[in-house]
């Protein structure tokens, strides 16, 4: 429907359509109150009867109002007129990165790194607030001219998901554009900042190469290529730029860098390769070859031949060694369990024999010995040990063969006689031992025991935080709460609250046992907190707790935030951990 000239909202006159997406059409409009041109995104009327899409459309405004970044399209207003909902944004008249690729085909490595560094900075701001874009692609990156060169403006957070809030998409639903989706996104995994980082690597590849790393008209084939993860490097891509691409496109999300880390790497690459020209546009043949589905390899069936392909090898003059074939022999693995069982039985028998021998050796002639009691002998490093000869020591050998010098009357010590028999202090002295053989006694020096050095453990681990966003849909006011904790000798935990400046708030933080829901430490309340600046942050804590070990706990932050007569009250619960 042609809506040119129609006034919507309070003072917005639609002039011409400039774009169309999955949820609505974007119009260039004139704001009569200021005389400036703005962009108005109208939700498709056919979608108004779907509550999830309407909520998602309203969420886009709320998210963009929270994102105050120069590389994010700024939202001005949200209105409803009749059966239509409209979103008013800044007008970015430079087109999109998709338009740039249509005209230029490829972008120089330095310029591509500069543009993606700006997108990474915008993503870092969004990820810090717990927001994942989930549909990063050239169509959603607008261009604005600044100082004679284009700057990026990230837009279309319509399918973005606020972390730690119930998803508005169907569980395990696949969301995104297949060419830019991460491997885990094809399986419907929960969106994470690593999902956006993967799409950023695909975007950088497309800017310098002129096409995405994997091209196919078949979604199953695209899925297979993303899961295999083997992008082809075009000749001429600088090494540092290629390193960023491969790091972003790692198969495992935990191996990818964060958006904040990419800002520094891409900015450095933009300076180093600012004068490197762009690669030539990809040829039609290379694009067709890239998009052709990979063949399915199957075992070939050879036809029956009457003659061998190769002549038979000459017979050797040396006869081959005779090796009996074990065609029907029992597989060796079948003996693994019985062998292991027999080894355990043999070990038990050996241990029993050793214990019996020790018991017999530890007995004196007629005096029963208590082998369960520890026979402790303390000797300095210079103690002289006398080893009896084999002929004389057999009848009188005791459990301990070391002779130690003990001060007379030392309590708790057992004296050792010359024949190395341990005797109790009240026992009658034994008759002197018969003279030993003429073999000289060997003298040994016992080395002092040494302990292997162990590194000193750190008292605590790093802080682990999670973000939760609370939004008042009527007043369009939102705040971010962060429960944090770290573990060590005890548990340290705290809570923080971030909200727009000019408000006052209250934070209560406590530690709960997740299995019972019982508060095991706290609550600690920080009241009358003032939030200054554009976005203010206040902390409550840290607190220390030593609950029972082996249980699962979570940090819970309850808060209230008041600004301009409106109050927002909610709570955020951190992830469960075991201490």
Radius of gyration of the chain (CA): 39
Contact 471, 451 (CB under 8 A): no
The number of beta carbons lying within 10 Å of the beta carbon of residue 461 is 11
- Cα separation, 7 vs 10, whole angstroms: 8
Residues with catalytic annotation? 135
- 288-294 long-range CB contacts below 8 Å, 24 or more apart? 290/211, 290/214, 290/215, 290/232, 291/215, 291/216, 291/217, 293/216, 293/218, 293/221, 294/221, 294/224, 294/225
> CA angle, corner 76, sides to 530 and 57, nearest 5?
100
Q: Which residues contact 519 (CB under 8 A, 6 or more apart)?
A: 510, 511, 512, 513
Q: How far is CA 210 from CA 138, 199, 291, 407, in A?
A: 12, 15, 14, 90
Contact 76, 158 (CB under 8 A): no
| Residue 210 token pair | 């002129």
> What residues does 573 pair with on adjacent strands?
556
Peptide bond just before 542 cis, omega within 30 deg? yes
The number of beta carbons lying within 10 Å of the beta carbon of residue 316 is 7
Annotated binding-site residues for ATP read 41
The domains of the chain, with CATH numbers, are 7-90 (3.30.200.20), 97-284 (1.10.510.10), 464-578 (2.60.40)
Helix (H, G, I), strand (E, B) or coil at 430: coil
- pTM for the model stands at 0.53
CA dihedral (177, 208, 238, 285) positive or negative: positive
Q: What is the pLDDT of residue 459?
A: 61
CA dihedral (452, 453, 458, 459) positive or negative: positive
535-574 pLDDT per residue, tens: 788 999 899 999 999 899 999 999 999 988 888 888 889 9
| Residue 161 token pair | 């998901």
The number of beta carbons lying within 10 Å of the beta carbon of residue 55 is 11
Phi/psi of residue 119, each to 5°? -65, -40
| Residue 265 token pair | 């790497």
- Cα separation, 128 vs 461, whole angstroms: 21
Rounded to the nearest 10°, the torsion over CA 96, 97, 98, 101 is 130
Ranges of the chain with pLDDT below 50: 162, 164-175, 294-310, 313-336, 363-430, 436-444, 449-457
Annotated binding-site residues read 41
């Amino acid at each position: 429907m042609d809506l040119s000239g129609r006034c919507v909202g309070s003072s917005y006159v639609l002039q011409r359509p400039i774009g169309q997406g999955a949820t609505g059409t974007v119009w260039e409009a004139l704001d009569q109150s200021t005389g400036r041109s703005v962009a108005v995104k109208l939700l498709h009327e056919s979608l108004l009867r779907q509550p999830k899409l309407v909520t998602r459309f309203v969420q886009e405004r709320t998210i963009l109002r929270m994102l105050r970044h120069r590389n994010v399209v700024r939202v001005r207003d949200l209105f409803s007129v009749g059966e239509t909902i409209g979103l008013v944004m800044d007008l970015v008249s430079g087109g999109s990165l998709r338009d740039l690729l249509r005209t230029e085909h490829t972008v120089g490595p330095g310029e591509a790194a500069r543009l993606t560094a700006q997108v990474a900075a915008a993503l870092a701001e969004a990820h810090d607030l717990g927001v994942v874009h989930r549909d990063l692609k050239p169509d959603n990156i607008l261009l604005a001219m600044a100082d004679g060169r284009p700057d990026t403006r990230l837009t279309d957070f319509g399918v973005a998901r606020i972390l730690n809030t119930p998803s508005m998409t169907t569980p395990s639903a696949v969301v995104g554009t297949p060419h830019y989706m991460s491997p885990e996104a094809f399986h419907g995994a929960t969106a994470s900042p690593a999902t956006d980082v993967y799409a950023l690597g695909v975007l950088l590849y497309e800017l310098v190469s002129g096409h995405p790393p994997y091209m196919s008209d078949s979604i199953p084939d695209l899925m297979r290529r993303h899961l295999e993860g083997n992008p082809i490097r075009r000749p001429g891509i600088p090494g540092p730029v290629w390193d960023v691409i491969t790091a972003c496109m790692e198969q495992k999300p935990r191996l990818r860098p964060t958006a904040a880390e990419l800002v520094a790497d891409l900015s450095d690459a933009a300076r180093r390769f600012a004068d490197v020209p762009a690669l030539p546009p990809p040829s039609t043949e290379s694009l067709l070859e890239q998009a052709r589905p990979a063949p399915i390899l199957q075992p070939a069936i050879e036809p029956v031949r009457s003659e061998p392909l190769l002549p038979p090898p000459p017979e050797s003059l040396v006869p081959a060694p005779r090796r009996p074939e074990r065609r029907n022999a029992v597989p060796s693995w079948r003996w693994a369990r019985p062998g292991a069982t027999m080894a355990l039985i043999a070990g038990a028998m050996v241990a029993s024999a050793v214990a019996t021998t020790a018991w017999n050796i530890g007995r004196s002639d007629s005096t029963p010995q208590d082998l369960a009691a520890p026979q402790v002998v303390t000797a300095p490093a210079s103690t002289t040990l006398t080893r009896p000869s084999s002929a004389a020591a057999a009848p009188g050998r005791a459990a301990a063969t070391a002779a130690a010098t003990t001060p007379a009357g030392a309590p708790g010590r057992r004296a050792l006689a010359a024949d190395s028999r341990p005797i109790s202090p009240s026992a009658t002295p034994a008759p002197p031992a018969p003279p030993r053989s003429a073999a000289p006694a060997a003298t040994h020096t016992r080395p002092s025991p040494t302990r292997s050095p162990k590194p000193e453990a750190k008292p605590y681990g790093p802080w682990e935080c999670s973000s939760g966003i609370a939004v008042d849909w009527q007043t369009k006011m939102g705040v971010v709460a962060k429960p944090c904790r770290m573990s060590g000798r005890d548990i340290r935990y705290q809570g923080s609250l971030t909200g727009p400046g000019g408000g006052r708030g209250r934070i209560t933080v406590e530690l709960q046992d997740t299995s019972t829901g019982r508060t095991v430490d706290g609550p600690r309340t920080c009241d009358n907190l003032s939030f200054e600046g554009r976005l203010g942050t206040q902390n409550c804590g840290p607190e220390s707790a030593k609950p029972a070990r082996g249980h699962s706990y979570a940090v819970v932050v309850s808060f209230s935030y008041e600004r301009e007569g409106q109050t927002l009250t909610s709570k955020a619960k951190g992830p469960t951990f075991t201490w």
